[in-house]
Structure 1
Amino acid sequence: MTQLGLPDTVQACLFDLDGVVTQTAVVHAAAWKETFDAFLREHEGPQARPFDEVADYDEYVDGRPRADGVRSFLASRGIELPEGDPGDPPDARTVHGLGNRKNELLLERIRTGGVDAYEGTLRYLEAVRARGLATAIVSSSANCRDVLRAVGAEHFFDVRIDGVVATERHLPGKPHPDTFLAAARDLGVEPERAAVFEDALAGMDAGRSGGFGYVVGVDRVGQSDALYAHGANVVVKDLAELGGEQ
């Protein structure tokens, strides 16, 4: 499978959404920053240290389910909030309230700015499908299906394991491997015969701990060393580097 840059043993490809298929990671980071900066100013005053869209995003929220991201970042600042309820309003001072505020801001940014896919990834997906490999999209986002439809990419995937499915099946999110393992299981492929494509450090951890046959790190923000340290077999800036051109 040298044309795809993958070992010959790979029978399925499992793709993250944000930052791998679609150019939405930067939109997520901006929505998280607006959410957390407003909260921190209210909680600590004008001297509060702002959320860092690169360092804090990569370390604490990227690739994680929304509520996990809130908990992880707040813990890094020594802050605890009540859990609240998934239906909390976006102004509630709870974990779910903050998460819902972030989602509200994200959807507004997507509505006003639109969504773009990475052309190199779309070409790679076409090549993967042409060679008969099974495919899945694996995302912590509850908006996964809508985003895929917005960029016309839903047809590329045989299986979708996203935030909605994970909640229905009670699957813990990344860095746990459960969502990727569920995708492989739904495709009827053993993990060691599946390749994971991720840009998040939490996704790298999931690929490594899940025993997947190959883990591709996609470096959009200059964190190649960290991706390798968290379990990548190879790191590329764009999937076009792996080959697969028709």
Structure 2
Amino acid sequence: MSWRRYDAVLFDLDGVVTPTAEVHMRAWSEMFNAFLSSYEGDGDSSPYTEVDYFAHVDGKPRYDGVRDFLSSRGIALPEGTPADPGTADTVCGLGNRKNDAFNVVLDRDGVVAYPGSVRLLDHLARLRLPLGVVSSSANAPAVLEAAGLADRFRTVVSGTVAHRLDLPGKPAPDTFLHAAQELGARADRTVVLEDAVSGVQAGAAGGFGLVVGVDRGAGRQTLSAAGADVVVSDLAELVPDEGHPR
């Protein structure tokens, strides 16, 4: 590949630019396992695991992740509304409970971007390629500010933006397509970088010029099967002065 073949680059955030995917994973685990331990209704209430995260939650809008996981366990809860408190046993209530836990950790610990991701951002800045972030998380702007990277991206399509514009979340390609449009680039001349299966599927479904899978735990074969053209373990592998493609 050559970066000069493309007109824009779109990054997922959690797990691609910043290690906040680990914070999300912990927040999901704590929330779901606390719920399951007290749940007495129909369905499978065995403990939530990392396998559940990658299969049902990773990369999806928050309420979709709750809904898909509960469905996989045969557990039916009321949908509720986004205004539900985190104490409510509804789909939206559980999603808000998880978000509360994530924000506590972010405020307490902050976040530092992956060094390899910063090296790639520096390289793309030298090429003057316009960059965007496409994240299912409503917290994306806050994470970018905490990492000191907010000025690196011309557009940020967060979960909040997607909701406001009524864009379906990943694995649908709509949020990526909107971001490419914001950057003035055609999909077939835009690169997508994703660590989640749902995000890779979105990039493939949108007809993007290159879909790069970043293996932070989903598995190289799984990401390739989802539609990744290239799979790396660190974005530094994509920086020319590291001995990789230009």
**Which residue does 1:175 correspond to in 2?**
171
**Which whole-Å CA distance do the structure 2 matches of 1:236 and 1:150 have between them?**
25
Q: Secondary structure at the match of 1:133?
A: coil
Equivalent position amino acid for 1:67 in 2: Y
**Which whole-Å CA distance do the structure 1 matches of 2:203 and 2:241 have between them?**
25
Q: Report matched runs for 1:69-218 at 5 Å.
A: 69-218=65-214
**Corresponding pairs, count:** 240
> TM-score if structure 2 supplies the norm length?
0.94
**Which residue does 1:48 correspond to in 2?**
45
**Which whole-Å CA distance do the structure 2 matches of 1:198 and 1:64 have between them?**
12
Equivalent position amino acid for 1:104 in 2: D
Alignment gaps of 5+ in structure 2: none
Q: Secondary structure at the match of 2:77?
A: coil
Q: Secondary structure at the match of 1:172?
A: coil
**Which whole-Å CA distance do the structure 1 matches of 2:97 and 2:111 have between them?**
20
Equivalent position amino acid for 1:73 in 2: F
How far does residue 44 in structure 1 lie from its aligned partner after superposition?
4.0
Q: Which of 6, 25, 31 pairs up with 1:29?
A: 25
Identity %: 52
**Which residue does 1:67 correspond to in 2?**
63
C-alpha offsets along residues 123-176 of structure 1, whole Å, 9 cap, x if unaligned? 101111110211100001111111101010011101111111111101111011
Work out whether residues 219 and 235 of structure 1, in 8 Å CA contact, stay in contact via their aligned partners in 2: yes
**Which residue does 1:229 correspond to in 2?**
225
CA RMSD of aligned residues (A): 1.5
> TM-score if structure 1 supplies the norm length?
0.94
**Which whole-Å CA distance do the structure 1 matches of 2:218 and 2:38 have between them?**
32
**Which residue does 1:57 correspond to in 2?**
53
Work out whether residues 65 and 174 of structure 1, in 8 Å CA contact, stay in contact via their aligned partners in 2: yes
**Which whole-Å CA distance do the structure 2 matches of 1:92 and 1:44 have between them?**
15
C-alpha offsets along residues 73-115 of structure 1, whole Å, 9 cap, x if unaligned? 0000011111101010001011000000000111111122221
Alignment gaps of 5+ in structure 1: none
Equivalent position amino acid for 2:33 in 1: D
**Which whole-Å CA distance do the structure 2 matches of 1:158 and 1:245 have between them?**
25
**4+ runs of 1 displaced by more than 4 Å?**
none
